Amino acid sequence: MKPPRSAEPQEPIRLLSVVIPARDEEGRVGATVEHLYVELRLHGIEHEILVVDDGSTDGTWTVLQQASSRVPTLRPLQNTGDHGFGRAVSFGLDQARGDAMVIMMADESDDCRDVVRYFEVLNEGWDAVFGSRFVRGAGVVDYPLHKLFLNRFANLFLRVIFNVPLNDFTNAFKAYRRKVIEGCRPFLSPHFNLTIEIPLKTIVRRYSWTVIPITWRNRRSGASKLRIREMGSRYLFIALYCWLEKYFSRGDYVRKKPDAESAHSGT
């Protein structure tokens, strides 16, 4: 397998945007936001927290409005268009003002301390940082066995057909510099298949990336919004779309190197 591109000198990140899609998460989203704010503030990281209420039918929006009085960096948003995990994340990314973005879940399954590590590693010069729950140093707590089996099979499939040393494509919790997000548009995935679309495009379009171990805990309340039976064909569609781009687009979407861009612009 070919190693990922190496890090290179880049401008430091001035503002980090954390995008959190939320649907019917009144029991957990308040704690997620408050814990994240405390962690980022302790480390002196300038940030904004964008929580996108994706058509909740419970008290999620009320909880967010109440939390905004305690968390000055919180920007509650409502996705008033068509709903879906991918649409909510895309809406949040559209509104984000940061130099880099972290996509995070609302149910406290992701560890706020890993957001700090993402920020630090991005500042080493990487374009993207992918967290993995299945490498040395990572932690997984109470992963349902049937989902774990399907997860490992799907990630092995992606790892083989794209020939890259990443074993956790399907985890949404990842970090990207703004240029990666802009360079991966337009996003095609309206649902959870966005979790593989962005990292696959990042890899195929040859942005630099690295992997760090992260901690994941199964939600302690509420129900998961992921419906595996509904998502299988959607994941496959995006995987094949990115595979076709990798092998048949003749480099039309590959990230241009700075010297190539300068030569093209005549500067």
217-244 pLDDT, tens digit per residue, is 986 655 555 555 556 789 999 999 999 9
The full set of domain ranges for the chain reads 16-257
CATH 3.90.550.10 describes domain 16-257: yes
User: Tell me, what's the pLDDT at 229?
Assistant: 56
* Distance separating alpha carbons of residues 259 and 47, to the nearest angstrom: 31
* pLDDT tens readout for residues 159-188: 999 999 999 999 999 999 999 999 999 999
First to last CA, the chain: 36
* pLDDT tens readout for residues 201-217: 999 999 999 999 999 99
pTM of the full structure: 0.89
- Cis before 213 (ω within 30): no
Neighbours of 224 (CB within 10 A): 13
> Of 55-64, 80-89, 246-255, which gets the smallest average pLDDT?
246-255
User: Tell me, what's the pLDDT at 231?
Assistant: 65
Q: The tokens of 104 are what?
A: 């995070």
